[in-house]
C-alpha cells in the first residue's frame, strides 16, 4: 500500500494542502499545534475508521467552513486508486474510484494503515478498554466484515441494558430478554472467536519482536481473557448464551450486562508475571512496540502487502535502540511520521521532509 498524494481542503486547521508523498519515509515536522497530527488523522480516515482522537465528524471541518474534503491517491498492489472523504452537516461520506460508498466504513479493507501514537504507550498499563480497542481496530482492517458484527453487538448491548433497567418497573418485559440474549450471544460469540484467532495469529511475531527489542531472554506471553462465557474454540456463542442466562438475575439488579466481549481483556505477562502490575516502564513500552509491529505484520499478511505506517510523535518517546528497532522492522511499508524537530526522525536515507506551520504544508526536501 503506497500513498501517492493526499489533498485536504478545509480539514481542521488546513485550508488547502497537498502532500505528494515519498514511497519510503515521510517526515512531517513543525511546532506544536500547527497541523501535523491533523494530516495523519486525515490519512487514517481512509482506513474507513473514525478519527483516532475520538472526534465527532463535525469537528473535522475547518471552523467557519461548511465542508471538509480529503482526497487520497494510492497504489494497492499495481492498481492506482482514488478515494475521497467529505464531511458536511456533521456527516462523513466516502467515495472509492468515483463510486459513493453506503457509509465511510465501506472503505475498510481498501486502504490499510497502522497507527502508533503516544496514547498507545499506555496499552499495557491502562485498563482493558484500550487493549480491546487495539484488538478490534486491528481485526477490522484484516477482516472488514468484523466492523458490522461489532457495531451490531454494541447496538444489541445498548438495547439489552436499557431493557434490564426497565424490567424492575415492567415485569412483563422479562420474557423479551430471551431475544436479546440470543442476539447478543450470536454477535458476541463471533467477536470472541475473531479476537482469539487474531491473538493466535500475531503471537509468534510479537514474541520474537519483544525478544529483539529487549535483547533479553525474558519471555512475553499473552492470552485473550474471556470475562465469562468464552467456552472453547467453536462453541463461543452457546457458552456466551449460557453465561447471559446464568447472570440474568444479577444483570437485572445491576441494570447492565455483566458477561460478554465488552468485558474481556488481553492478559499480558513477562516471565509469568502480569506486565500491567509488575512490568517496568521500559518493559511495558517494549511490549507495546512488539504488539504494534505484530499488528503491522499481521495486516501485511492479510492484505498481501505492507500497510502504511503512521507514527504520530512516537519516536521522541522512545530511546535510540527502540527507535532503531521500530524503523528497521516495519516490514518495508511506507511511513509517515510527525515530530517537532526534523532531527528527531533519525537517519533518513531516502524520503521526503515536510514542514507544517499554521496549517500550511511545505515540502522541504
Site for ligand ATP, rule CB under 6 A:
12-13, 30, 32-38, 59, 61-63, 313, 338, 340
DSSP letters for 181-223: HHHHHHHHHHHHHHHHHHHHHHHHHHHHHHHHHHTS---EEEE
Return the closest-CA partner of residue 26 out of 359, 305, 304, 355: 355
Closer residue to Mg ion, CB minimum distance, 223 or 317:
317
Measured from the CB atom, the residue of 13 and 81 that comes closer to ligand ATP is 13
- Choose between 38 and 283: whose C-beta lies nearer to ligand ATP: 38
- Among 22, 26, 34, 37, which residue sits at the site for Mg ion (rule: CB under 5 A)? 37
Q: Which is nearer to ligand ATP, 34 or 237 (CB)?
A: 34
Q: Using the rule CB under 5 A, is 34 a contact of Mg ion?
A: no
What DSSP designation does 114 have?
E
Identify the helix (H) or strand (E) that includes residue 19.
Answer: strand 14-20
Nearest distance from C-beta of residue 28 to ligand ATP, angstroms: 8
Q: List all residues 6 or more positions away from 5 whose beta carbon is below 8 Å from its beta carbon.
A: 18, 19, 20, 21, 72, 73
- 4 burial (CB, 10 Å; 0-12 / 13-18 / 19+) is middle
Name 204's bridge partners.
none
Question: Which residue lies nearest Mg ion, judged by its C-beta?
Answer: 37
- The burial class, CB within 10 Å (0-12 / 13-18 / 19+), for 100 is exposed
- For the segment 43-82, give every residue that binds Mg ion (CB under 5 A): none
**Coil, strand or helix at 64:** coil
The listed partner (Mg ion, ligand ATP, none) that binds 59, CB under 5 to 8 Å by sort, is ligand ATP
Q: In what order do the strands lie in the sheet with 308-312?
A: 113-116, 308-312, 335-339, 25-29, 351-357, 360-363
CA distance 27 to 176: 56
Q: How far is the CB of 12 from ligand ATP (least distance, A)?
A: 4
Instruction: For ligand ATP, give the closer residue by CB, 58 or 253.
Output: 58
Query: 35 is in the binding site of which of ligand ATP, Mg ion, none (Cβ under 5 to 8 A by kind)?
Result: ligand ATP
Taking the least distance from each CB to Mg ion, the nearer of 194 and 313 is 313
Among Mg ion, ligand ATP, none, what does residue 12 contact (CB within 5–8 Å per kind)? ligand ATP
| Residue closer to ligand ATP (CB basis): 56 or 215 | 56
Residue 105 binds which entry of Mg ion, ligand ATP, none, CB below 5-8 Å type-dependent = none
DSSP code, position 113: E
Q: Which one of ligand ATP, Mg ion, none interacts with residue 221, CB within 5 to 8 A by kind? A: none
- Binding piece for Mg ion, criterion CB under 5 A, among 35-43, 82-90, 165-173, 256-264: 35-43
Rounded to a whole number of angstroms, the minimum distance from the CB of residue 292 to Mg ion is 18
- Residues in contact with Mg ion by the rule CB under 5 A: 37
Amino acid at each position: 500500500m503506497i500513498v501517492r498524494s493526499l489533498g485536504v481542503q478545509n480539514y481542521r486547521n488546513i485550508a488547502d494542502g497537498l502532500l505528494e508523498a515519498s514511497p519510503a519515509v515521510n517526515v512531517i515536522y513543525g511546532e506544536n499545534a500547527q497541523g501535523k497530527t491533523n494530516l495523519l488523522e486525515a490519512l487514517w480516515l481512509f482506513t474507513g475508521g473514525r478519527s483516532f482522537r475520538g472526534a465527532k465528524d463535525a469537528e473535522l471541518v475547518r471552523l467557519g467552513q461548511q465542508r471538509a474534503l480529503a482526497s487520497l491517491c494510492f497504489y494497492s498492489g499495481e492498481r492506482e486508486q482514488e478515494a475521497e472523504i467529505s464531511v458536511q452537516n456533521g456527516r462523513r461520506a466516502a467515495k472509492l474510484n468515483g463510486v459513493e460508498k453506503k457509509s465511510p466504513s465501506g472503505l475498510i479493507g481498501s486502504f490499510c494503515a497502522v497507527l502508533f501514537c503516544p496514547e498507545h504507550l499506555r496499552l499495557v498499563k491502562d485498563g482493558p478498554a484500550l487493549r480491546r480497542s487495539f484488538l478490534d481496530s486491528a481485526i477490522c482492517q484484516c477482516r472488514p466484515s468484523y466492523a458490522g458484527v461489532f457495531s451490531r453487538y454494541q447496538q444489541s448491548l445498548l438495547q439489552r441494558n436499557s431493557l434490564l433497567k426497565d424490567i424492575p418497573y415492567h415485569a412483563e418485559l422479562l420474557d423479551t430478554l430471551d431475544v436479546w440474549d440470543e442476539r447478543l450471544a450470536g454477535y458476541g460469540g463471533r467477536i470472541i472467536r475473531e479476537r482469539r484467532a487474531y491473538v493466535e495469529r500475531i503471537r509468534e511475531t510479537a514474541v520474537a519482536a519483544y525478544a529483539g527489542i529487549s535483547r533479553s531472554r525474558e519471555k512475553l506471553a499473552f492470552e485473550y481473557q474471556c470475562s465469562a462465557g468464552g467456552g472453547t474454540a467453536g462453541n463461543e456463542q452457546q457458552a456466551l448464551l449460557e453465561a447471559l442466562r446464568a447472570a440474568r438475575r444479577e444483570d437485572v439488579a445491576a441494570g447492565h450486562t455483566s458477561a460478554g466481549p465488552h468485558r474481556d481483556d488481553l492478559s499480558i505477562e513477562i516471565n509469568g508475571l502480569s506486565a500491567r502490575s509488575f512490568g517496568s516502564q521500559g518493559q511495558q513500552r517494549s511490549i507495546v512496540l512488539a504488539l504494534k509491529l505484530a499488528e503491522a505484520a499481521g495486516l501485511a499478511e492479510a492484505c498481501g502487502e505492507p500497510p502504511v505506517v503512521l507514527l504520530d510523535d512516537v519516536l521522541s518517546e522512545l530511546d535510540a535502540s527502540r527507535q532503531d528497532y521500530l524503523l528497521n522492522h516495519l516490514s518495508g511499508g511506507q511511513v509517515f511520521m510527525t515530530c517537532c524537530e526534523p532531527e528527531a526522525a533519525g537517519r533518513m536515507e531516502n524520503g521526503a521532509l515536510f514542514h507544517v506551520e499554521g496549517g500550511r504544508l511545505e515540502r522541504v526536501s
